[in-house]
Structure 1
Amino acid sequence: MRRSAGKPLTALAAVVGLVLTTACGPSGETSPTGGRERPATTSTDPHSTDPAVTGVQPLYDLSPELEDQIGTVLIGSALGIDGVAEVPLQSPYMDDLLSGACGTEPGNGVYLSAFGQRREWKAPHVRIQQFAGGWGVSPAAEAVAQVRGRLGCGTYQDREGLHRVLGERELSPLSGLDDQLMFCEVINEEGPEGPTHLCTVLLARGEIASRIQTRAATAERAEQVARELAVPAARRLAAVS
């Protein structure tokens, strides 16, 4: 479940107005500016604008400098992998779930990012994507923990095909982070074109989460590249003040 847009502020403007109207009432008073209060999670109204139900971040709940910080978290072009080339994208801006593993969808306390950006690269027999975005309703570390708690599903189906979750992989501790997680999957294991191996690294600090995903024909290659890129990705994330 992904939303791509030209500029995140434009794409979310309508949602912001609706959320602010709901929060402030018909008088048009200023939205909350104190501590970050979590939204209520008890609504069952299918037309609810409660962020916990819609999975959309309320922008007033995010740090004003967050949009500028997201871009600094992306690794850049110097990946140090033989034959790597950046994949041109129509737009770098994309808001996304931190992970769609085990059929996760937005809503019911699962949030899409705000101000998300991505980059993609390809090298012989491997495809790489980095994504970074903001989580304001709950810390980014809670989003990572939420993914960790869903990895016992075994298998699930999405647009890429049938995934089998292989479980967590050990990742050396990376300094300056609130949480980190690495896990791997195999997609279309019995397919006629052969399996795709997918490894995901999730990194969290404050309101920002960074995701590295590598797809390769072998489990060894997918894991190797994911581990290599986790280090510079963590360094950039930890540098955000």
Structure 2
Amino acid sequence: MTDEDLAGQGGHAQGPPVPVMPAENVKYSLVRACGITPPSNAKIHAARQAQWFTDRKPDPSLSVSQLTVAYQGTTGAAAIAEIRELLTCQDYQDGSITRTVTGDETIPAVAGADAQYVYCENENASCVMLLARGDLATAVTVRGGDSLADASKLAPLVMTALARA
């Protein structure tokens, strides 16, 4: 997504999207919840990330993080199917924070998406929306406000941006 995509939501970027560089001990991963390592992670050949914030007074501010990855030798839809199958834990450690996965959530079907999947954590304090198109997949994490409703509102914007990629 771009600043223009989020202008209607009152969003502003923390900075421009930046490439994600894998490290020797930390490889690419579309999601890190539950410590899962989908086989499709090995097929990620490029990734970019960005973060936005909104200041919606009197509503709570919103943080939106996006990671978009390109696969080689598989599709974004296949990767999302793997994640959905592997994401079975109820709690996991994220550094010093214990996160509780509250399970699969539903948002309206997103036009143009080959696959979509949403799960939330800590009673919807944050929700992660996964969308795929062709060899691309994106994970959008929404924190603050009504995370599930906000993810649902952002879904068409995210898909439009994914189609431009």
TM over 0.5: yes
Percent identity over the alignment is: 26
What is aligned with 2:25?
Answer: none
Offset of 1:225 from its aligned partner? 1.8
TM-score by length of 2: 0.80
What is the match of residue 35 of structure 2?
Answer: 103
Matched, 1:222 2:147: yes
Pairwise CA distance, 1:160? 5.6
Could you list the structure 1 runs, at least 4 aligned residues long, displaced by more than 3 angstroms after superposition. Answer: none
Does 1:205 pair with 2:130? Answer: no
- Aligned-pair RMSD on alpha carbons? 2.2
Structure having the higher Rg: 1
Q: How many residues align?
A: 151
**Larger relative CO (CA 8 A, sep 6+): 1 or 2?**
2
Higher normalized strand content (fraction of residues): 2
Paired residues for 1:54-65 under 5 Å: none
Q: Is the 8 A contact 2:130 2:139 kept in 1?
A: yes
Q: TM-score, normalised by structure 1?
A: 0.57
In 2, Cα distance between equivalents of 1:148 and 1:160: 25
The answer for unaligned runs of 5 or more in structure 1 is 1-74, 190-195
Of 15, 39, 42, which residue of structure 2 is paired with 1:88? 15
Q: What secondary structure sits across from 2:101 in the alignment? A: strand
Q: What CA distance in whole angstroms lies between the structure 1 residues aligned with 2:157 and 2:53?
A: 17
Structure 2 portions without partners, runs of 5+: 22-27, 56-60
Q: How does 1:1-241 map to 2 (within 5 A)?
A: 75-78=1-4, 79=6, 80-82=8-10, 84-88=11-15, 92-94=18-20, 96-105=28-37, 109-111=39-41, 113-124=44-55, 125-159=61-95, 161-186=97-122, 197-216=125-144, 221-239=146-164
Counterpart-to-counterpart distance in 1, 2:34 and 2:96:
13
The 8 Å contact of residues 212 and 229 in structure 1, kept in 2 or not, is answered as no
